[in-house]
Structure 1
Amino acid sequence: MTSPLTSDSPAYDDRIAWVRVSSCYLPLANPISDAKVLTGRQKPMTEIAMLFAEIETRDGHRGLGLSYAKRAGGPGQFAHAKEIAPALIGEDPSDIARLWTKLCWAGASVGRSGMGVQAIGAFDVALYDLKARRAGLPLSKLLGSQRNSVQCYNTSGGFLHTPIDQLVVNAQASIERGIGGIKLKVGQPDLAADIKRVETVRKHLGDHVPLMVDANQQWDRPTAQRMCRIFEQFNLIWIEEPLDAYDFEGHAALAAAFDTPIATGEMLTSAAEHGELIRHRAADYLMPDAPRVGGITPFLKVAAQAEQAGLSLGPHFAMELHVHLGAVYPTEPWVEHFDWLEPLFNERLEIQGGRMMVPTRPGLGLSLSEQARQWTREVAETGTRP
């Protein structure tokens, strides 16, 4: 029988000795357009700014964490992470919640949401990765896993820049690869074109394949009411972000009016914001993004609130992290399959039978690839590496 840890055990004596943060820019093979581009609010996305945190303790235990920014914010996240990283040196890496609070107060003037907590998120994930690796457990097992695989759906083949014929090809290829569901982008100025795209893919796939749509916040309330009513016929898993992300009352009205579930939450950047969304009953599917809310520590707070409210879960992006967090949620979630980040890591997630398998390697089960190092533009280190 293993003896319980005491204050004299080595794990209690270990301390963070070295931290490295790096800013890596992942180029996308093709510029990505969703409804925000077609309505003139944003430009096509050509790269993703990744923030990596690597932490090592005096006894040689290591952890890797990540956060990210799309279109803007990468330099700011890196600058903030670089500024607050010294606050971790000498600390016990097991005190993750306390360290989250310490880092938050270290940058208190920038607030408790947005870019500031997104920088903290990379450290928070790294600390959880370190703790799970030290325990010899996958992150999901450390947190208390409910399942060894999760339902997954594909988004990257359904963007609005994709011609309708190619949409069908992409959807079929995803299903044949073993992905469980398909999400299509909608929300363009031509509502008839949105309807045609969904109708075409639904007809091709048949009624048995799970299908979702995502308007990326581009409808006003009357348009959302009209489109949700029309989309009822397609037996969708959900309609995502039909309204502005902070229009909690509008989303709540849609959720109450229609049989098709409403999904939202990916753009919120704190547990408190998600708490307001839940209080308004503004979603049937909650879609928190762990890096955006500040890491695993606040994500678990969001998930606890969602569970109490009886909501379903569909974490946004970063499948390499969310496959673990989805495995922990009590009811079956959907995890978003994006292969965009795969070049950054030496490992790959396994997909089969419509499900994403939870890695059995310790921690996140990830290591940075040589390609990620080559795409790195800035690095900052603090402390002394053992």
Structure 2
Amino acid sequence: MSTSSPREHATAAASAAVDRISRVELSRVRLPLQAPISDAKVLTGRQKPLTEVAFLVAEISTEGGRCGLGFAYSKRAGGDGLYAHAREIAPELIGEDPNDIDRLWRRLVWAGASVGRSGLATQAVAAFDIALWDLKARRAELPLAKLLGAHRDAVACYNTSGGFLSAPVEQILDNSTEALHRGIGGIKIKVGHPDTATDIRRVEAVREHLGDSVPLMVDANQQWDRATARRVGRTLERFDLTWIEEPVDAYDTAGHAALASKLDTPVATGEMLTSVGEHRELLRSGACDVIQPDAARVGGITPFARIAALAEEHHLAMAPHFAMEIHLHLAAAYPGTTWVEHFDWLEPLFVERLECRAGRMLVPERPGLGLSLSEQCRAWTLERDTIDRAAT
């Protein structure tokens, strides 16, 4: 018969619940695309065609044998910088309790605060933060969406990867048909061609091909000025679009707000912003109808949750940008109307696949994000570092 006091029992239980981070493994990965990709930023000469995506992968292990997986990414420039910054701040995690995610997020941000608390600095933190949330959900033996508090077990989804400006319209029509056959519910295509009449013809062809019942979105990738956005936006009204995305510069909050007040078509933006504060200003100004935060860009799931709370207060729809492998869980946990963006680019990095059915992406029942790295991911790894007590 035990003679332990209730206080001793409580102390023992608390001690058993505490775990410590023992190792952080970082990988710098380059994912090559099958063909160069162009959107409006390429046609206006501001960027070169996209040929690869750089990834910062973080694997966090604990003394208790738990492991969490997270990643951040960069298109074109910045991948090397993400990896370098992450390598510098990773020692801050060693010996810490992985359950204290908000505290650790702030610790990591302040460790690199001299280079800023947004942008690349917090994007590097995102890989750690996502890994910590994945670890916590795995420890609870719950899908991340369930740990956060799911409102649905499947999320309306739309495809983007088949609708770039570098693809002729005939290919976009074929890609759209294939996406719908895969169970994807909506189609987004890129606009922002220097000849706006070309944009109109492409949208008209896709709408005619899809019929009136399939959700159709367009994305100008910030390449219209305010006057062009108003003019083209009015012309596009007849196609019953679900939204017009980033019609003007991502940081032109007033321009987005003015457009949102004039068009019947909802305006979507937010994917390029890298802090909670920037999103707060966007919402305060009434600059969008659909908010599109990116967990990897804003610093992880911890700040994403703050943005989601703000969006809910403003009764906005949410459509997180890119990285469906993460955002499916976050969208499932959002109380309001939500979408998830289907991009098949990242699929080779992971063993598992996400399933779409009847226009919705199903939340996997596997614990955490439900992901494990593939052999192909390891083959595309250019650099790898291990940070543990010996290294610190």
Q: Same fold (TM over 0.5)?
A: yes
CA distances 1:85-112 after superposition (whole Å, capped 9, x unpaired)? 0000000000000000000110011111
**Which residue pairs with 1:8 in the alignment?**
12
Distance 1:242 1:11 in 2: 53
1:88 aligns with 2:126: no
- RMSD across aligned C-alpha pairs, in angstroms? 1.2
Equivalence map 1:199-214=2 (5 Å): 199-214=204-219
**Which residue pairs with 1:368 in the alignment?**
373
Distance 1:305 1:369, change over 3 A: same
Query: Which among 221, 226, 231 is matched to residue 231 of structure 2?
Result: 226
**Which residue pairs with 1:65 in the alignment?**
70
**Which residue pairs with 1:353 in the alignment?**
358
Letter in structure 2 aligned against 1:311: L
Whether the aligned pair in 1 keeps the contact of 2:68 and 2:131 (CA below 8 Å) is yes
Question: Following TM superposition, by how much is the alpha carbon of 1:6 offset from its aligned partner in structure 2, in angstroms?
Answer: 4.6
Distance 1:225 1:343 in 2: 40
User: Helix, strand or coil for the counterpart of 2:242?
Assistant: coil
Whether the aligned pair in 2 keeps the contact of 1:6 and 1:12 (CA below 8 Å) is no
Distance 1:254 1:48, change over 3 A: same
Question: Following TM superposition, by how much is the alpha carbon of 1:188 offset from its aligned partner in structure 2, in angstroms?
Answer: 1.1
CA distances 1:128-179 after superposition (whole Å, capped 9, x unpaired)? 0000000000000000000000000000110001001111111111111110
Question: Following TM superposition, by how much is the alpha carbon of 1:238 offset from its aligned partner in structure 2, in angstroms?
Answer: 0.1
Distance 1:378 1:159, change over 3 A: same
Whether the aligned pair in 1 keeps the contact of 2:37 and 2:166 (CA below 8 Å) is yes
Query: Which among 363, 374, 385 is matched to residue 380 of structure 1?
Result: 385
**Which residue pairs with 1:125 in the alignment?**
130
TM-score for both structures, normalised by structure 2: 0.96
**Which residue pairs with 1:160 in the alignment?**
165
CA distances 1:208-259 after superposition (whole Å, capped 9, x unpaired)? 0000000000000000000110010000000000000000011001111111
1:317 aligns with 2:311: no
**Which residue pairs with 2:145 in the alignment?**
140
1:268 aligns with 2:273: yes
Identity across matched positions, percent: 65
Equivalence map 1:212-251=2 (5 Å): 212-251=217-256
Distance 2:372 2:388 in 1: 21
Whether the aligned pair in 2 keeps the contact of 1:151 and 1:332 (CA below 8 Å) is no
Question: Following TM superposition, by how much is the alpha carbon of 1:13 offset from its aligned partner in structure 2, in angstroms?
Answer: 2.5
Equivalence map 1:284-303=2 (5 Å): 284-303=289-308
User: Helix, strand or coil for the counterpart of 2:251?
Assistant: coil
Distance 2:24 2:174 in 1: 45
1:76 aligns with 2:69: no
CA distances 1:330-350 after superposition (whole Å, capped 9, x unpaired)? 013010000100000000001
CA distances 1:254-304 after superposition (whole Å, capped 9, x unpaired)? 111111000000000011110010011100000000000000000000000
**Which residue pairs with 2:3 in the alignment?**
none
4+ residue segments displaced more than 4 Å: none
User: Helix, strand or coil for the counterpart of 1:55?
Assistant: strand
**Which residue pairs with 2:104 in the alignment?**
99
1:253 aligns with 2:266: no
TM-score for both structures, normalised by structure 1: 0.97
Question: Following TM superposition, by how much is the alpha carbon of 1:14 offset from its aligned partner in structure 2, in angstroms?
Answer: 1.0
Which structure has the bigger radius of gyration? 2
Whether the aligned pair in 1 keeps the contact of 2:316 and 2:337 (CA below 8 Å) is no
Structure 1 residues without counterparts, runs of 5 or longer: none
Letter in structure 2 aligned against 1:210: P
Question: Following TM superposition, by how much is the alpha carbon of 1:198 offset from its aligned partner in structure 2, in angstroms?
Answer: 0.1
Distance 1:66 1:289 in 2: 12
1:19 aligns with 2:44: no
| Matched positions, count | 382
